[in-house]
Amino acid sequence: MTSPSVVEIAGLSKTFEVPDKGTMTALSGIDLSISQGEFVSLIGPSGCGKSTLLRLIGDLTEPTTGTVTVNGKPAPQARTDRDYGIVFQAPVLFDWRTVEDNVRLPLELIGTDKATREARITQMLELVELTEFRRHHPYQLSGGMQQRVSIARALAFEPALLLMDEPFGALDEMTRERMNSEVLQIWAQTGITVVFVTHSIPEAVFLSSRVAVMSARPGRVTRLVDIDLPRPRTVETRESRRYFELVTKVREALRGGDGQVELDEAAMEQVAAEGLG
């Protein structure tokens, strides 16, 4: 039984006008279908348009040709109906609001009644484990913590879709891996659909059910890689053989390979022994 599709993209392309330089085609001929409950990563070289694609899904910019359907509606309507939450690369918190006030923002905008609103805020802060920091201001928090607040905020009004644009790009490797696990936990608990932009292959493979590999500008989806790693995914997953295979497969796809992967068994053993991932 196929889950309903949350995001349907057909024949999408996006061309920008560059002052004094003419036009620039960021995306060309994108077709993509994302089902409910999936975790899909978009990965590609710099400038391949993955962030633009994310913004097209969120109706933060308009397509030049093609259609974007979110939750069965055209993207603009999905935005007005607030069907998705978005997390940017920078936390984009308001300096003048406390942590809980920042999470409160979307609920204020929707006009949620006070009781429900406060309950949601408490729930969200528990989800990202920042309850003791409710009344702190953003400047008192580390980068990782600020991002957690922005995730709590994105989920505050229980959207069907979560869009994330390289949210952990500015964090160090250790924090990033921890945040990866936290996102998976949240995803498992809420059953939300996630579209995740990244340029880290390990991250994409670790998190996703599918990885959409994109080519350089003009961006196209060149391959969809199914990630059949078992869940829940843990630290051990990162050290498993299947993980390495998939990382290599995605890497090859990025390099324009034909998808066939030949593994050097001896090299694999050595890499596993040295704990590289």
For binding to other proteins (CB under 8 A), which residues are involved?
19, 58, 60, 79-82, 84-86, 88, 90, 92, 94-97, 105-106, 108-109, 137-139
Q: Which is nearer to other proteins, 64 or 77 (CB)?
A: 77
Phi, psi at residue 29, to the nearest 5°? 60, 55
20 SS3 class: coil
Q: Which is nearer to other proteins, 59 or 177 (CB)?
A: 59
Residues ≥6 apart with Cβ < 8 Å to 11: 29, 30, 31, 65, 66, 67
| Residue 241 and residue 268 in contact, taking contact as beta carbons nearer than 8 Å | yes
CB 235, min distance to other proteins, A: 33
CB 79, min distance to other proteins, A: 5
Cα 102 to Cα 141: distance, rounded to the nearest angstrom: 13
Question: With the C-alpha atoms ordered 261, 262, 267, 270, is the resulting torsion angle positive or negative?
Answer: positive
Q: Which is nearer to other proteins, 34 or 205 (CB)?
A: 34
Q: For tokens 């409710």, what's the residue?
A: 134
**Direct distance between the N- and C-terminal alpha carbons of the chain, in angstroms, rounded to an integer:** 35
Q: Which helix (H) or strand (E) holds 15?
A: strand 5-18
CB 5, min distance to other proteins, A: 21
Q: Which is nearer to other proteins, 86 or 195 (CB)?
A: 86
Q: Which is nearer to other proteins, 19 or 275 (CB)?
A: 19
CB 143, min distance to other proteins, A: 15
CB 88, min distance to other proteins, A: 6
